[in-house]
Amino acid sequence: MKRSLRLYDLVGFGIGGMVGARVFVTTRLASRINVGPSIVLSYAVAGLCALLSAFCYTEFAVDLPVAGGAFSYIRVTFGEFLAFLTGANLIIDYVLSNAAAARGFTAYLGTAMGISTHTHLRFTIHGLPEGYNEIDIVAVAVVLLLTLVICYSTRESSWLNMVLTVLHILFIVFVIVVGFWRGEWKNFTEPENPKSPSGFFPFGASGVINGAAVVYLSYIGYDGCTSSGKWR
């Protein structure tokens, strides 16, 4: 493969992986089901764990500037069997996380358009178990489109990634600014409700840890820099 990536391409690749669609999907899921308002602490815990992992990736990337990322590092350190398990888990991780992000895009698109996602954007296949009988056409189209862009050219896909990353960062900055401007401190506590937990820690410390496990998906991306460094 021709080496066509530059330093800022790799930086954009890493940031784009972390500040991608996953941050919008996991935040909604974790705050509603796992943790509540204390999701800010879940992000802090997940960020600390990601930072420690990033230090390890940095050390290995300097010593072993080859493609393969964690697979290559585990192969050199512990052998081929554990490297195979690591590579298989990474493939599953990226497949499932990208699928979740694509489905999340469909859900947000349906909300923005004011239409029912299940009725207008997904098709139901009869005869399959409930929950596994829907085809998300929009999600499939998004994945196929991005795959075609990646296969077309490394430079063009890197340029598209930079554009989308900048848009994501601008949107997140916009949300933060509006949050400070229009937000209220009472939103940091779950309202009193006899049918559900309330307060800043509605699910306790275990909820914060469970939420951290979910939002950790938002930090995935820095490992991609180490895998792409060979093509710089």
Quote the CA–CA distance of 115 and 107 in Å, as a whole number.
Answer: 10
Tokens 């239409």, residue? 115
Examine residue 78 and state whether it is found in any structural domain, yes or no: yes
The pLDDT value given to residue 44: 92
Q: Would you say residue 196 lies in a domain?
A: no
Residues, the chain, total? 232
pLDDT at 192 over 70: no
Q: What is the pLDDT of residues 26-41, one digit of tens each?
A: 787 788 777 888 888 9
Query: How do residues 73-99 score in pLDDT, each as one tens digit?
Result: 888 888 889 989 988 888 887 788 788
For residue 141, tell me if it sits in a domain. yes
Which two tokens mark 77? Answer: 């350190």
Residue 155 has pLDDT above 70, yes or no: yes
Contact 49, 216 (CB under 8 A): yes
Within a domain: residue 160? yes
Structure-token pair, residue 120: 């207008």
Instruction: Give residue-wise pLDDT tens across range 11-29.
Output: 777 777 777 667 777 787 7
> In 10 A of CB 60, how many CB atoms?
19
Interval 196-223: pLDDT, tens: 666 777 788 888 898 888 888 788 777 7
For the purposes of burial, counting CB atoms within 10 Å of the CB of 27, is it exposed (0-12), middle (13-18) or buried (19 or more)?
middle
The parent domain of residue 93 ranges over 7-183+224-231
Cβ contact 149:156 at 8 Å: yes
DSSP per position, 89-128: HHHHHHHHHHHHHHHHHHHHHHHHHTS-IIIIIEEEPTTS
Residue 134 lies in a domain: yes
Q: Looking at the domain assignment, is residue 19 inside a domain?
A: yes
Contact assessment for residue 6 and residue 232, using Cβ atoms and an 8 Å cutoff: yes
How many domains are contained in the chain? 1
When mean pLDDT is compared across 61-70, 94-103, 141-150, 220-229, the lowest value belongs to 220-229
Task: State how far the alpha carbon of 12 is from the alpha carbons of 124, 191, 216, in Å.
Answer: 38, 40, 19
Nearest to 105 by CA among 160, 143, 144: 143
Q: Tell me whether residue 152 is in a domain.
A: yes
pLDDT value of residue 177: 92
Mean residue pLDDT across the chain: 80
* Cα–Cα distance, 122 to 8 (Å, whole number): 38
Q: Do the domain assignments include residue 205?
A: no
